[in-house]
Homo-oligomer: A and B are copies of this chain.
Amino acid sequence: MNFLEERIVSDGAVSLGNVLKVDSFLNHQIDVSLLLQVGKVFYDHFKGKNITRVITVESSGIAVACFTAQLFQVPVVYAVKEMSKNLDGLLYKSHVYSSGGDRNYDISLSRRYLDVSDTVLIVDDFLASGVAVRGLLDICSQAGAKVAGIGVAIEKGFQGGGDALRHDGYDVKSVAIVDSMSSDGTIVFREQPDEA
């Protein structure tokens, strides 16, 4: 097991509704050194791709994006889920059908911070059905930006979103892929090649 798989086993929990709770280190409390390691995995995988911006969706993607962008020495841009006073002017917009099925939302990103000259790394804390990533891909397409790939901390492989993106030709790098999990705490990770 790699460092993130080990952490999921030691500190994560499976709760009702196929929720993998990792709020002690990933998306409520943030273990800064762990996220730097996640960023390092993305950096090692995508470093030859001339990345110009790291993009994500608020809120839980922001920390992963920051520690990744720090290594690439490029800006983060995060799409917002609702209109803010901080954003005006021309926006790229996309509609996201929430993976939990419980909520739909629109995401927006300013046209000032993404254009045809960009090569983008999309990152997020989780990838399940992949709808948030699809929304960001839609925005990159509107901008004419090139997508170098997608970096995800934890992919829920059994929900199929990551493999569908790979089938569509995207380079998806997930630090941990959960292929199955059950409420008794059993978590099965997909074997992945060691790139180190």
A-B contact pairs, 25 of them (CB 8 A): A17-B85, A23-B110, A24-B113, A28-B87, A29-B110, A29-B113, A30-B66, A30-B77, A32-B66, A32-B73, A32-B74, A33-B73, A36-B70, A58-B58, A58-B59, A59-B59, A59-B62, A59-B78, A59-B80, A62-B66, A63-B63, A63-B66, A66-B67, A67-B70, A85-B100
* Contact across chains for B112 and A77 when beta carbons are under 8 A apart: no
Taken residue by residue from 73 to 109, chain A's Cβ proximity to chain B (1 for < 8 Å, 0 otherwise) reads as 1111110100001111000000000001000000001
Q: Which of A124-170 contact B (CB under 8 A)?
A: none
Closest 4 CB pairs of A and B: A58-B59, A59-B59, A30-B76, A29-B113
